[in-house]
C-alpha cells in the first residue's frame, strides 16, 4: 500500500457544533454532454454515431423520422421487410422505409396528407416531430381539441422535450435535433407515469435517466490483445473509429503493441489499455478448480475472461512460481497473460524499498531472499526477488527492469533530465516547457518511499526546478509519455488538527477522524496552534512548519494576503477557531466575510506547488 503524508494544524480541539460540521467535497452530476448523448442514441440502434459535424447537420426526412420513431419503440423488431400494399401514392411497396412508415401511421404517431400522399422525402418539421413523440409517449385523447397541432406543441414544451433543440415549429429538424429529441423522449415520463426508457427495458441511472454505462456494457466486445492482425477481430474500419487509450481520448496511432482493446460496434469506438505487470505468479484463488483471481508479486488481480480462467486453472498452463506478464484491461482485470519467454518487457520505476527477507523453499527450508520494490510507470507497486548485488542502487533511484532469455536484470537509469527542468507546465498541464505531454501521459510524483499517480490538471502551471524531474520517456510523436517527478505537487498531503499533546502522545484529527501517535514516532519541533506538514515514513512522522500570512481578500479560488497572492488548492482544508479556542472544520463560504473573521492562509514553501494555499484558519474578530 502507498504511504500517506499528512499536513496538520497543531492546535487544541473540542468537538461540538459550531459554524458547520465538516462537509466533504460534493460532486454535482454534470448534464450529459452532446457526444455521450450521440453515443446513447447510437447504442440503442436509433441513429448511427459519427465524429463529423456535417453528418449531424443534415436534415431528416419524414420517412427517415418514421424509422427513428420505430427504432425508439417496442416495435423496432417487428418491421416487415416486405410490404404488400402501397400505403400512400408516394410510398410504394419497394420503398425502403415502407415498413417503418406503416408502423408509425398505424400507431397514430404520424399521419399522411389529405391528398393521399405521405411526402416521405420532405424534411420533418418541429411541429410534426413534436406531435409524433408526444403521441408515442401515450399523450393521446379522444377529445378533438386536445389532438390539434397546437395542443400537441403545448404538451411538447410542457414535457421539456425541446431541450437543446433551437428550432421554431415550422423549421426542419437535423440529425442532431433528432438525437436530442429522442434522448429527451427516452428520459421523459409517459402518460402512465413511467420513464419511457424504463418501459422499453433499459436501466436508469441515479438521476432517473437512461444509464449510459449499462448500454455501453451491453454493446461492449473484447478484449483483443494488440498483436499480429488484431484489427481483423474488430468488425468495422478502425481508421474511422473513435479511440480512447487509458480512459483519455486519443488516436488510432497511439494504440501500441500488446495493448488490450475493447470495442463497440454501434458507436465504432475503441478503448485501449496499456497497463502490464511482470512478476512471479504467487497464488490462484480461491483454488485452481474454479479460479477467480491471481496474485502476482503480492498483488491480487481479478481474471477478466473465460480464457484466463481456463489458463490459470488446473487444466491450464500457468502454475505458481512461473514468471509471467499479465495484460490488464478494463477495471484492471487480467485480459491476457504470457510467459516471460513469450514476452520480454522493459519496466521503468522508482525504488521504494530494498532488503532481505526469510522465505521457505520447496522443501520448507528457510532461505534468505533479496528483494526490491518499485513503483512502475502505471502506478503499480511491484516486488522483484533477485539473487545478485544491486551495486549503487538506493531508495529513490530510477531503475529499468529487463528480461533476456527469461533472466531478470535491474539497472539504475542515469538519463539526463535537464531539458525538462527550470521550466513551467502550461496552464492546462498539456506542456512542460516546449514539450507536449501525450494525451495519456503517465505521471508519478515521488516523495521518498511514497508516491502518487497525478494528472495534467494536478501539475498545471507548476514550476519544475533542478532535480524535480527524476525520469521521463518520449513516445514516437516526441511527446512526454512517462514522467517521474520529485515531490512537486504535494498531492500526497492531507490535512488535520492536533487535538492534544501529552507527555508521550500526540492526538490529532484528520477530517474529523481522531488518531493518536506515540511521541517516539514523531520527529520535529511541535508547537500548539502552528500549521505543519507531516510526512509519514518508515521511521515515523516528520513535522515541518508551513508558511502563513494574514488574508486581506478571499474568494473560492484565490487568496490575497498582506505578503502574497496565491490560488487555493482543490483540497484546501478550512478551520474555524472559536473565542473559547474550540476548533472545527468548515468551508470557505462560511468564513469569507473578512469584516467578521480574521483568516490566515498557509502554504508549503518547499513544494513546486507552493503557489497553492493548503490550509485556511479563521477566528472571530
327 lies in the same domain as 253: yes
Last residue within a domain, chosen from 465, 486, 507: 486
In a domain, 28, yes or no: no
pLDDT at 537: 59
In a domain, 593, yes or no: yes
54 lies in the same domain as 100: yes
Q: What average pLDDT does range 233-248 have in this prediction?
A: 90
223 lies in the same domain as 193: no
pLDDT at 365: 62
59 lies in the same domain as 15: no
pLDDT at 328: 96
pLDDT one-digit tens code per residue, 286-323? 999 999 999 998 889 999 999 999 999 999 999 998 98
pLDDT one-digit tens code per residue, 495-520? 777 777 788 888 777 655 677 888 77
More reliable by pLDDT, 466 or 213: 466
Last residue within a domain, chosen from 506, 530, 545: 545
**8: pLDDT strictly greater than 50:** no
User: How wide is the angle at C-alpha 310 spanned by C-alphas 304 and 316, nearest 5°?
Assistant: 135
Provide the 3-class DSSP secondary structure of residue 319.
coil
DSSP secondary structure, 408-423, as one string: EEEEE-----GGGSSE
Q: What average pLDDT does range 174-190 have in this prediction?
A: 97
509 lies in the same domain as 561: no
Q: What is the pTM of this model?
A: 0.62
397 lies in the same domain as 255: yes
In a domain, 185, yes or no: yes
DSSP state of 149: H
In a domain, 30, yes or no: no
258 lies in the same domain as 399: yes
Query: In terms of residue numbers, what domain contains 449?
Result: 418-486
Pairing between β-strand 547-554 and β-strand 558-561 as defined by DSSP bridges: antiparallel
In a domain, 410, yes or no: no
pLDDT at 18: 36
Most confident of 7-21, 162-176, 607-621: 162-176
In a domain, 277, yes or no: yes
pLDDT one-digit tens code per residue, 327-373? 999 989 999 999 988 998 888 999 998 988 876 655 556 678 888 99
Kindly state the percentage of the chain with pLDDT values over 70.
Answer: 88
DSSP state of 364: S
238 lies in the same domain as 171: no
- 507 membership: H or E segment, kind and range: strand 505-510
Last residue within a domain, chosen from 380, 405, 430: 405
pLDDT at 497: 73
Mean pLDDT value across the chain: 86
Number of domains the chain is built from: 5
Q: What average pLDDT does range 460-482 have in this prediction?
A: 91
In a domain, 84, yes or no: yes
482 lies in the same domain as 525: no
pLDDT at 579: 86
In a domain, 29, yes or no: no
- 280 membership: H or E segment, kind and range: strand 276-285
More reliable by pLDDT, 29 or 119: 119
Q: Which residue do the cell numbers 514523531 mark?
A: 522
Q: How many CB atoms lie within 10 A of CB 147?
A: 16
243 lies in the same domain as 153: no
Kindly state the percentage of the chain with pLDDT values over 90.
Answer: 52
Provide the 3-class DSSP secondary structure of residue 572.
strand
456 lies in the same domain as 576: no
341 lies in the same domain as 458: no
Amino acid at each position: 500500500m502507498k504511504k500517506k503524508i499528512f499536513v496538520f494544524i497543531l492546535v487544541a480541539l473540542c468537538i461540538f457544533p459550531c459554524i458547520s460540521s465538516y462537509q466533504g467535497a460534493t460532486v454535482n452530476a454534470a448534464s450529459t454532454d452532446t457526444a455521450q448523448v450521440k453515443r446513447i442514441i447510437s447504442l440503442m440502434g436509433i441513429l448511427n454515431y459519427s465524429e463529423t459535424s456535417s453528418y449531424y447537420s443534415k436534415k431528416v426526412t419524414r420517412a427517415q423520422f418514421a424509422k427513428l420513431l420505430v427504432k425508439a419503440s417496442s416495435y423496432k423488431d417487428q418491421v416487415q421487410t416486405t410490404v404488400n400494399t402501397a400505403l400512400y401514392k408516394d410510398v410504394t411497396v419497394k420503398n425502403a422505409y415502407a415498413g417503418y412508415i406503416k408502423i408509425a401511421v398505424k400507431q397514430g404517431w404520424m399521419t399522411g396528407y389529405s391528398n393521399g400522399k405521405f411526402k416521405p422525402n420532405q424534411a420533418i418539421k418541429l411541429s410534426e416531430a413534436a406531435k409524433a413523440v408526444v403521441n408515442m409517449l401515450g399523450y393521446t385523447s379522444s377529445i378533438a381539441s386536445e389532438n390539434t397541432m397546437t395542443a400537441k406543441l403545448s404538451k411538447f414544451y410542457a414535457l421539456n422535450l425541446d431541450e437543446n433543440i433551437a428550432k421554431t415549429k415550422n423549421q426542419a429538424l437535423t440529425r442532431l435535433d433528432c438525437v436530442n429529441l429522442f434522448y429527451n423522449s427516452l428520459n421523459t415520463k409517459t402518460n402512465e407515469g413511467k420513464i419511457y426508457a424504463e418501459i422499453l427495458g433499459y436501466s436508469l441511472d441515479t438521476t432517473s435517466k437512461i444509464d449510459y454505462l449499462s448500454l455501453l456494457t451491453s454493446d461492449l466486445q473484447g478484449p483483443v490483445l494488440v498483436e499480429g492482425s488484431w484489427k481483423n477481430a474488430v468488425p468495422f474500419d478502425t481508421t474511422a473509429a473513435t479511440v480512447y487509450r487509458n480512459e483519455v481520448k486519443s488516436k488510432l496511432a497511439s494504440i501500441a503493441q500488446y495493448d488490450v482493446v475493447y470495442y463497440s460496434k454501434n458507436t465504432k469506438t475503441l478503448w485501449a489499455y496499456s497497463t502490464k505487470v511482470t512478476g512471479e505468479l504467487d497464488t490462484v484463488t480461491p483454488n485452481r478448480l474454479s479460479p477467480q483471481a491471481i496474485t502476482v508479486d503480492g498483488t491480487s488481480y481479478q481474471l477478466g475472461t473465460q480464457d484466463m480462467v481456463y489458463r490459470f486453472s488446473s487444466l491450464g498452463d500457468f502454475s505458481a512460481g512461473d514468471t509471467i506478464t499479465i495484460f490488464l484491461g478494463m477495471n484492471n482485470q487480467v485480459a491476457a497473460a504470457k510467459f516471460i519467454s513469450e514476452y520480454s518487457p522493459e519496466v521503468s520505476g522508482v525504488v521504494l524499498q530494498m532488503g532481505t527477507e526469510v522465505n521457505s523453499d520447496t522443501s520448507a527450508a528457510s532461505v534468505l531472499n533479496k528483494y526490491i520494490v518499485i513503483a512502475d510507470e502505471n502506478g503499480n507497486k511491484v516486488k522483484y526477488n533477485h539473487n545478485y548485488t544491486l551495486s549503487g542502487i538506493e531508495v529513490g533511484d530510477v531503475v529499468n527492469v529487463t528480461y533476456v532469455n527469461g533472466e531478470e536484470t535491474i539497472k539504475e537509469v542515469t538519463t539526463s533530465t535537464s531539458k525538462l527542468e527550470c521550466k513551467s507546465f502550461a496552464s492546462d498541464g498539456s506542456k512542460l516547457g516546449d514539450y507536449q505531454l501525450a494525451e495519456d501521459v503517465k505521471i508519478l510524483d515521488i516523495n521518498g518511499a511514497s508516491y502518487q499517480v497525478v494528472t495534467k490538471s494536478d501539475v498545471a502551471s507548476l514550476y519544475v526546478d533542478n532535480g524535480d524531474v527524476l525520469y521521463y520517456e518520449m513516445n514516437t510523436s516526441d511527446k512526454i509519455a512517462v514522467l517521474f517527478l520529485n515531490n512537486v505537487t504535494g498531492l500526497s498531503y492531507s490535512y488535520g488538527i492536533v487535538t492534544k499533546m501529552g507527555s508521550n502522545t500526540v492526538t490529532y484529527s484528520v477530517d474529523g477522524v481522531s488518531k493518536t501517535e506515540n511521541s517516539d514516532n514523531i520527529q520535529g519541533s511541535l508547537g500548539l496552534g502552528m500549521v505543519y506538514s507531516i510526512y509519514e515514513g518508515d521511521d515515523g512522522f516528520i513535522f515541518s512548519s508551513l508558511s502563513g500570512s494574514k488574508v486581506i481578500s478571499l474568494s473560492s479560488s484565490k487568496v490575497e494576503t498582506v505578503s502574497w497572492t496565491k490560488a487555493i488548492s482543490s483540497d484546501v482544508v478550512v478551520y474555524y477557531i472559536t473565542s473559547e479556542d474550540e476548533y472545527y472544520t468548515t468551508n470557505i463560504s462560511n468564513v469569507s466575510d473578512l469584516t467578521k473573521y480574521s483568516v490566515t492562509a498557509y502554504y508549503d514553501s518547499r513544494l513546486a506547488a507552493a503557489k497553492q494555499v493548503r490550509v485556511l484558519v479563521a477566528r472571530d474578530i
